[in-house]
Structure 1
Amino acid sequence: MAALLHRLGLLAARRAKTVIAAWLAVLALAVTSFLAFGGQLTDQISLPDLETTRVTDRLADELPDVSGGSATAVLRTDDGEAFTDAQQDAVADLAEEVESVEAVDGVTDPFASAQDRQEQQDQLSDSRAEIEDSREEISGGREQIEQGREQLDQAQEELDAAIDGARQQGAYEAMQPQFAQQQEELDAQREELDSRAEELDSGAEELADGQDELARGEAMMDLASDVSMVADDGDVAVLSIGFTEAMAEVGMGDLSDVSDVLTAAEIEGVEVLPSGDLDMEMPALFGPTEAIGLMIAAVVLLVMLGTFVGAGLPLVNALIGVGIGVAGALSLSGFVEMMSVTPILGLMLGLAVGIDYALFILHRHRTQLKDGLELRESIALATGTAGNAVLFAGATVIIALLALNVTGIGFLGLMGSIGAACVAVAVLMAITMTPAVLSLVGRHILRRRERRSIGTRRRTPITAAMPTGRAALISVVAVLALAVMAIPVGSMRLGLPDASSDPAESTSYQAYTAMEEAFGEGRNGPLLTVADLPEGLDEAGAQEQQIAIGEALRADDQVAAAVPAAVDDDHEVAAFQVIPEKGPASEEVEQLVHDLRDGVLLDGSDVSDVELSVAGMTAANIDISEVIADALPLYLGLVVGLSLVLMVVVFRSLLLPVLATLGFVGSYAAGLGGVVAVFQWGWMQPVFGITEPGPILTFLPILTAGILFGLAMDYQLFTASGMREAYVHGASPKVAVRRGLHAGRSVVTAAALIMGSVFAGFIFTDDPMVKSIGLGLALGVLLDAFVVRLLLLPALLTLCGRAAWWLPRWLDRLLPDVDVEGAALERRALDADDDGRSPGSGGSAGPGGAGGSGGFGGSDGSDTDGGPQAPGAGPEADEERREPEYAGIPALTSSGSAARD
């Protein structure tokens, strides 16, 4: 591969204008594709196999009226006074206008709703009064009937007495017709009283039924009264917007249409605030803070390279490459659902690695020019050696990002694929565009002083190792620092940001706070709860079940309201709107969702056998977070395993890969700890522009793990390969560590500062997701580079001595010989230079090659157990004999391998 890249670099140098024109044409094609095919980005995350998704699909079949998504807009008066009649009329007109949007199923006018509720309350009061009147009437009727029966009984007694008297006097037969008529009258009156009594009993039964129905109505009204659409002070109202589809299915264009209608509304004295579900303002791809990050990177480049040409070349390279990658990614947004953070992630990675990869080749080329190598041969050799290392390093980042697809989470896999594509473009740009531009700028890539002193540098080789005491102290301090920074990870809670984390000036945040102040924070995240009712219920029985369930739910301390929303025609399924006490991103709501599903809230009640399920955006976010959290161990295991295998192959050692992988785990945990301390604990909120602390972005740990792993591999290559090269060339293990560190530290320092500044530029954006990703990546990169790769690993390797490079003989025979640094190519260049030049005349370099690169972890000359051969044997011995002739060649190159400096 090194030879192929050598030819590619030479070709690019010879056809510089053609190569540059080709890349510009690719950029134009990518931008054109974006303009032609680009679609709408989204901030919503949807996964197909979630409990909330299954519940929503079920509701679409059984309760279609409540299956659609819903969103809100908060209306508040500017003066804090209650809405006037004119303002209420204007709100009604706005509701009609919003309802005209095609995707909207209906809009609830808060004041009409309040009026309807008051009318229902009045009707219930009237019904209660009517029932009381009817009860009094029935009671009075029964008293009258009782009095009538007493009178009839008395009349019957008098008639019976008269009949007995007539019989005694012998006049009964003469008076019998009269007695019979009187008896018939009494019997008729008694029948009439019995009929009236039956009517009263029937009325009493109807009254009891009406009273039961009234009681159920009052209980339902009591449950519903916990949720009001207008604040008690009358200065805040909620416009509820229902959609024909679930929120995950509603198109971003439709949501944007609704938001546009709301934000364009002009109601005198009233502020209209769309909620976070409707706030469709996408984060900007590039803004002032990102520009500051690039400026810092430019300053680092200028300090390191000393020329504006040298500092500008990696920046231009990265900008063109990231333009191709991001525009190409955005052109796919018309065909696949893409989150707004996806192209921003591509931008982050494209800028960071684009600058760094160009820098590695550029720095190698500069060093070779200063040592007297011919221009195009230097470009070709830098591309074949440092470019080969760039190719390998980029491949590790790409593999780590593509591995996100193994999680089975679609949007996360797409993020990884887009990021990998941007890194691939950066690699291709580095090995083609960079040689072309270097050919055009010629030796102006060097300072004037450097151009005057070409081939005259001499340096004294490093012969002393890091003192053991210092190595032990550095190890202890570094481990303690990482451990302390990682402490917050123990309390990390994953979730998706809600509107409370939006910028304070955003309408979504103002809507959230206005809702919280007027109605309680739980109104910002209602839960749609579905109950499976017992079989065979009639309408009254189903209503009684709804009331019992609602009252049992409301009795829980974490539930502010439980409002019956609907029941199906078969009286088998009922839906409730459950309003939590806390906000949607709180730990209490997460526990509440689990308790609802587990039936904890119904335990001990008359409806304990009812099964509950939960849907809605809040529950969906909790489900998504849990799915991603479950995938994190698998992905971390894959990343750690890949890290070990790659480093064993490259460095031909067992202990070094283990230490390097543990170092990655340490820097990764410490970086996450910093994110938790800032975003979840709320440390330094004003500095980072955080409005309210909350859970950590649900996919941040798994996303940063892939990215930081790839970058950690980069830095490990740029330091440990130089150590390995010095060791196999005969240096003692401890001296080899110091030589390799000296060889790679400046380029790793510059690369980490550049990458950290690019990532840090995204920390101060308004979007909370981008902000947290930027902080996680910036912290992770800086900690891994400066604490792990430049301090901890060299110190530990010094303490380990020869054991750091031990490898079983059988494994050494099985492992492929990976010439990552292009050492063979460099040796051929050295031999060719020896044939044409006298030693010391400034040509191509030896084992410290062209500025001290021995390459990345080559194993040429090592014996079967990974140790060095005895001096004087093998090809390395030839190079060792040459070494004094090249002792003046500096030991720092973009590949980070060690020479005898």
Structure 2
Amino acid sequence: MATLLYRLGRFSFRNRGRVAAVWLLLLALLGVAAALFLGPSSDKFSMPGTESQRALDSLVREFPQASGAVGVIVVAAPEGGKLDPAVVAPVVEEAAAVPGVVAAIDPFQARALSPDGRYALVQVQFKDKIDDITDVQRKAYLKAGASATGIQVEHGGEVLRAAPEVGGSEAIGVLIAAIVLIVTFGSLVAAGMTLLNALVGVGVGMAGLFALSGVFELTSVTPVLALMLGLAVGIDYSLFITSRYRQFLADGLDREEAAGRATGTAGSAVVFAGATVVIALAGLFVAGIPFLTVMGLAAAGTVAVAVLVALTLLPAILAYAGPRVLPRKQRDGRAVAKEGFGYTWGRLVSRLRVPILLIGIVGLGVLALPVQDLRLALPDAGTAAPGTPERAAYDLTSKGFGEGFNARLIAVVSAEDAAAVNTAAGQAAALIQQVPGVLAVAPPQPNATGTTALLAIIPKEGPTAASTEAAVHAIRGKVATIAGAEIAVTGATAVGIDVSDKLGEAMPVYLLLVVGLSVLLLMLVFRSILVPLKAALGFLLTIGSTFGITVAIFQEGRLAGLFGVEVPGPLVSFLPILLIGILFGLAMDYEVFLVSRMREDFVHGDTARQATINGMGHNARVVTAAALIMTSVFGGFVFMEDPIIKSMGFALALGVLIDAFVVRMTLVPAVMAMLGRAAWWLPKVLDRVLPDFDVEGERLNHHLATSRPPVPERVG
């Protein structure tokens, strides 16, 4: 592989104009396609095969008038007062006049009043589903009740869900990344070139994703995740190849040869690192959840583009940059080569390997302790930022009616005839009312044919409360005993519980698949058994400590204010499995970049201990910069208000810091020093069977040595 990539690097360097033109043309074409075929994003978390999804599908068939988006307007009288029907009437009338609304229900007719008469709920039924609600409709809905005086009016409900805006907060991460690059390279040209290369890759990847959004349904989080990962790995991959290019220039190679060798050696590591990330992300399909599969494939696509851009466009840009890719002192020949901190750190870790391993493993184990209290749920209005309309409506509903009114459930009762439905609905209502955690059950509401009826259920506590989750499971257990009808429980709360349960079942299978495939891939890269196993075990320490700290902050509320977490609560359901996939891929990035240089020097004759020190000496600075860049990019998303993206950005940034600095740059060299030559042991049977991809470039060096005529000695 190294030889093939060497030729590719030299080809791109020589044909820089054509290569750059192809990528720019591709970017332009995909940009036009994205503009023409851009489809709407979705906030719908569908779960095929679950009880809640089957009930929702039944609602669409049997209650089409109730299958659209729903809004809830909360009305409150002043302290000590009661609501007057005449005062509330304008709210109902203006809500009914909102475009797309089929009904706004008067709370006095529906008896949707609090016991003291101070609070009321106006249910607003839209014709269109949530994905089809426009911003114009949302703005009109928020204005409903503006003419009412003497009362408080707050707007809530699923109709207010909108895609998170990607604004300026993530630009902070890019700015920090630029500063890190400038410090690392000592050259504005090298830093700008690396960023430009990454931005082109992100542009191509995102344009392609948006061009396909008209065909595949994307959740609102999917483009943000793809942008987050594409930008981070794009900068890192370009950084590694550019750093190796500069090393070859310092060794006296001409620029084209340096570009070829950098692409052949560091490029091989980039290919395998990118392949590991793609495997981890594409493997999300094992969860059997469509929106999660699409998220994984979209992010994997941007990573694959980042690899291609680094291998082809980067050598072309290096050709344009000329000698300016080096610091001014090196260009003038005034720079004196000296050992960096990486060599000192490598020697220190090798010498103190036992205490460092003990401290590192125990420390990360302690940080992982809060993970035993991990709770999962889908975000609700109670986790929205204070001051937003949905949060204000949630709080006012909780104050007037109790938190359970924000977690309403629906039992869908279906049978062959109306009599069977009425009997089953009556039995179900009686059984459900006995369930601990249930506050009230409304009378059955049949459809026009009487073959389906709805039972509205009000829990005692909020959507993410443990008692509400227990109540859902208890209700399902009780109604399963009723004969003659099919009864299914649904609603946003039930959907969230089903998502969590299904993801919990899929996680062990996913972890086994991803770790197994990646260990096999690393075995091919390093031709070793112990190195891949050590990499996988180190990842378990990373993921455990990352989860532990994230639970402590986002769920338990410790230091929550420091990170802008207004309302601590359960982590979003798909965060753990998504985090495992992304972090495992990124962790293997650093493993490949560090250990490939150790393997390279070991194959070329160094002792195992010296190869470990050399690997740290050559790559510690680059891996440090890469980790800081990736942390900066991910950390920029922590400033977004969306709770899903905030928690995702935080967990990824934290995981990268722990994995890069504690696991890969501290524990890994300590283990390598302890194992010595045994680290590179591979049974002879596997040595014969496994293909050799020549990541360390040994065959490339042999090819270069034999394909060029020797330089004649100068006589005299």
TM-score relative to the length of structure 2? 0.91
Inter-partner Cα distance in structure 2 for 1:698 and 1:282: 18
Alignment partner, residue 696 of structure 1: 571
- Check whether the contact 2:414–2:453 (CA below 8 A) recurs between aligned residues: yes
Inter-partner Cα distance in structure 2 for 1:292 and 1:818: 39
Which amino acid in the other structure matches residue 22 of structure 1? V
Alignment partner, residue 557 of structure 2: 682
- After superposition, what is the alpha-carbon deviation per residue over 1:730-773, rounded to whole angstroms, capped at 9, x for unaligned? 43333332222223212111111111111111112111111111
Where does 1:252-267 land on structure 2 (aligned, <5 Å)? Answer: 252-254=131-133, 256=135, 258-265=137-144, 266-267=146-147
Alignment partner, residue 497 of structure 2: 622
Inter-partner Cα distance in structure 1 for 2:104 and 2:76: 17
Note closer, same or farther for the CA distance 1:467–1:278 as it changes in structure 2 (3 Å cut). Answer: closer
Alignment partner, residue 174 of structure 2: 294
Shift of residue 636 of structure 1? 0.3
- After superposition, what is the alpha-carbon deviation per residue over 1:624-648, rounded to whole angstroms, capped at 9, x for unaligned? 2211221111110011111221222
Which amino acid in the other structure matches residue 239 of structure 1? V
Shift of residue 462 of structure 1? 7.6
Secondary structure of the residue aligned to 1:599 is: helix
Q: 1:575 aligns with which of 437, 448, 454?
A: 454
- Check whether the contact 2:82–2:116 (CA below 8 A) recurs between aligned residues: no
- Check whether the contact 2:92–2:104 (CA below 8 A) recurs between aligned residues: no
Secondary structure of the residue aligned to 1:497 is: coil
Secondary structure of the residue aligned to 2:219 is: coil
Shift of residue 533 of structure 1? 9.0
Alignment partner, residue 381 of structure 1: 261
Indicate yes or no: 2:244 matched with 1:364. Answer: yes
Indicate yes or no: 2:113 matched with 1:113. Answer: no
- After superposition, what is the alpha-carbon deviation per residue over 1:225-281, rounded to whole angstroms, capped at 9, x for unaligned? xxx3457352x4322123557xxxx14223655423212333244565332411133
Secondary structure of the residue aligned to 2:441 is: strand
Note closer, same or farther for the CA distance 1:84–1:385 as it changes in structure 2 (3 Å cut). Answer: same
- Check whether the contact 2:187–2:325 (CA below 8 A) recurs between aligned residues: yes
Alignment partner, residue 19 of structure 1: 19
Structure with larger Rg: 1
Alignment partner, residue 398 of structure 2: 516
Where does 1:465-504 land on structure 2 (aligned, <5 Å)? Answer: 470-504=352-386
Alignment partner, residue 52 of structure 1: 52
Inter-partner Cα distance in structure 2 for 1:432 and 1:533: 62
Q: 1:715 aligns with which of 590, 593, 610?
A: 590
Alignment partner, residue 447 of structure 1: 327
Note closer, same or farther for the CA distance 1:459–1:572 as it changes in structure 2 (3 Å cut). Answer: closer
Shift of residue 74 of structure 1? 2.4
Inter-partner Cα distance in structure 2 for 1:475 and 1:630: 33
Which amino acid in the other structure matches residue 402 of structure 1? A
Inter-partner Cα distance in structure 1 for 2:693 and 2:241: 20
Alignment partner, residue 897 of structure 1: none
- Check whether the contact 1:530–1:612 (CA below 8 A) recurs between aligned residues: yes
- Check whether the contact 2:279–2:518 (CA below 8 A) recurs between aligned residues: no
- Structure 1 alignment gaps of length 5 or more: 115-227, 840-901
Alignment partner, residue 793 of structure 1: 668
Where does 1:425-436 land on structure 2 (aligned, <5 Å)? Answer: 425-436=305-316
- Check whether the contact 2:445–2:454 (CA below 8 A) recurs between aligned residues: yes
Inter-partner Cα distance in structure 2 for 1:376 and 1:797: 35
Note closer, same or farther for the CA distance 1:504–1:462 as it changes in structure 2 (3 Å cut). Answer: closer
Inter-partner Cα distance in structure 2 for 1:837 and 1:490: 70
Inter-partner Cα distance in structure 2 for 1:764 and 1:488: 24
Which amino acid in the other structure matches residue 254 of structure 1? I
Secondary structure of the residue aligned to 2:455 is: strand
Shift of residue 340 of structure 1? 0.7
Note closer, same or farther for the CA distance 1:535–1:407 as it changes in structure 2 (3 Å cut). Answer: closer
Inter-partner Cα distance in structure 2 for 1:369 and 1:763: 39
Shift of residue 349 of structure 1? 0.8
Inter-partner Cα distance in structure 1 for 2:157 and 2:376: 19
- After superposition, what is the alpha-carbon deviation per residue over 1:371-392, rounded to whole angstroms, capped at 9, x for unaligned? 2221222222222222222122
- Check whether the contact 2:163–2:221 (CA below 8 A) recurs between aligned residues: no
Q: 1:560 aligns with which of 417, 423, 439?
A: 439
- Check whether the contact 1:326–1:343 (CA below 8 A) recurs between aligned residues: yes
Note closer, same or farther for the CA distance 1:276–1:22 as it changes in structure 2 (3 Å cut). Answer: farther
Q: 2:116 aligns with which of 232, 240, 249?
A: 232
Secondary structure of the residue aligned to 1:835 is: coil
Note closer, same or farther for the CA distance 1:535–1:308 as it changes in structure 2 (3 Å cut). Answer: closer
Inter-partner Cα distance in structure 1 for 2:254 and 2:712: 12
Inter-partner Cα distance in structure 1 for 2:138 and 2:79: 24
Inter-partner Cα distance in structure 1 for 2:645 and 2:268: 32
Which amino acid in the other structure matches residue 490 of structure 1? Q
Alignment partner, residue 35 of structure 1: 35
Secondary structure of the residue aligned to 2:217 is: coil
Q: 2:199 aligns with which of 295, 305, 319?
A: 319
Which amino acid in the other structure matches residue 581 of structure 1? K
Note closer, same or farther for the CA distance 1:566–1:647 as it changes in structure 2 (3 Å cut). Answer: same
Indicate yes or no: 2:280 matched with 1:283. Answer: no
Aligned-residue identity in percent = 42
Which amino acid in the other structure matches residue 205 of structure 2? G
Alignment partner, residue 241 of structure 1: 124
Alignment partner, residue 415 of structure 1: 295
Alignment partner, residue 471 of structure 2: 592
Inter-partner Cα distance in structure 2 for 1:441 and 1:708: 33
Note closer, same or farther for the CA distance 1:709–1:369 as it changes in structure 2 (3 Å cut). Answer: same
Shift of residue 838 of structure 1? 8.3
Note closer, same or farther for the CA distance 1:838–1:637 as it changes in structure 2 (3 Å cut). Answer: farther
- Check whether the contact 2:432–2:478 (CA below 8 A) recurs between aligned residues: no
Inter-partner Cα distance in structure 1 for 2:15 and 2:416: 79
Which amino acid in the other structure matches residue 628 of structure 2? L
- Check whether the contact 2:234–2:306 (CA below 8 A) recurs between aligned residues: yes
- Check whether the contact 1:258–1:278 (CA below 8 A) recurs between aligned residues: no
Inter-partner Cα distance in structure 2 for 1:467 and 1:526: 57
- Check whether the contact 1:34–1:331 (CA below 8 A) recurs between aligned residues: yes
Note closer, same or farther for the CA distance 1:359–1:796 as it changes in structure 2 (3 Å cut). Answer: same
Secondary structure of the residue aligned to 2:40 is: coil
Which amino acid in the other structure matches residue 625 of structure 1? S
Indicate yes or no: 2:231 matched with 1:348. Answer: no
Which amino acid in the other structure matches residue 592 of structure 2? L
- After superposition, what is the alpha-carbon deviation per residue over 1:13-48, rounded to whole angstroms, capped at 9, x for unaligned? 233233223322222222222211112111121122
Shift of residue 50 of structure 1? 1.5
TM-score relative to the length of structure 1? 0.73
Alignment partner, residue 174 of structure 1: none
Indicate yes or no: 2:389 matched with 1:507. Answer: yes
Shift of residue 80 of structure 1? 8.8
Inter-partner Cα distance in structure 2 for 1:690 and 1:36: 38
Note closer, same or farther for the CA distance 1:393–1:534 as it changes in structure 2 (3 Å cut). Answer: closer
Shift of residue 351 of structure 1? 0.6
- Check whether the contact 1:371–1:455 (CA below 8 A) recurs between aligned residues: no
Secondary structure of the residue aligned to 2:461 is: coil
Secondary structure of the residue aligned to 2:133 is: helix
Inter-partner Cα distance in structure 2 for 1:10 and 1:811: 34
Note closer, same or farther for the CA distance 1:781–1:515 as it changes in structure 2 (3 Å cut). Answer: same
Which amino acid in the other structure matches residue 113 of structure 1? A
- Check whether the contact 1:558–1:582 (CA below 8 A) recurs between aligned residues: yes
Note closer, same or farther for the CA distance 1:591–1:664 as it changes in structure 2 (3 Å cut). Answer: same
Which amino acid in the other structure matches residue 281 of structure 1? A
- Check whether the contact 1:256–1:280 (CA below 8 A) recurs between aligned residues: no
- After superposition, what is the alpha-carbon deviation per residue over 1:606-629, rounded to whole angstroms, capped at 9, x for unaligned? x89998531222211211221122
- Check whether the contact 1:402–1:413 (CA below 8 A) recurs between aligned residues: yes
Secondary structure of the residue aligned to 2:379 is: coil
Note closer, same or farther for the CA distance 1:514–1:485 as it changes in structure 2 (3 Å cut). Answer: same
Secondary structure of the residue aligned to 2:19 is: helix
Shift of residue 454 of structure 1? 7.3
- Structure 2 alignment gaps of length 5 or more: none
Secondary structure of the residue aligned to 1:528 is: strand
Shift of residue 483 of structure 1? 0.9
Note closer, same or farther for the CA distance 1:44–1:546 as it changes in structure 2 (3 Å cut). Answer: closer
Inter-partner Cα distance in structure 1 for 2:420 and 2:338: 98
Alignment partner, residue 155 of structure 2: 274
Shift of residue 725 of structure 1? 2.9
Which amino acid in the other structure matches residue 396 of structure 2? A
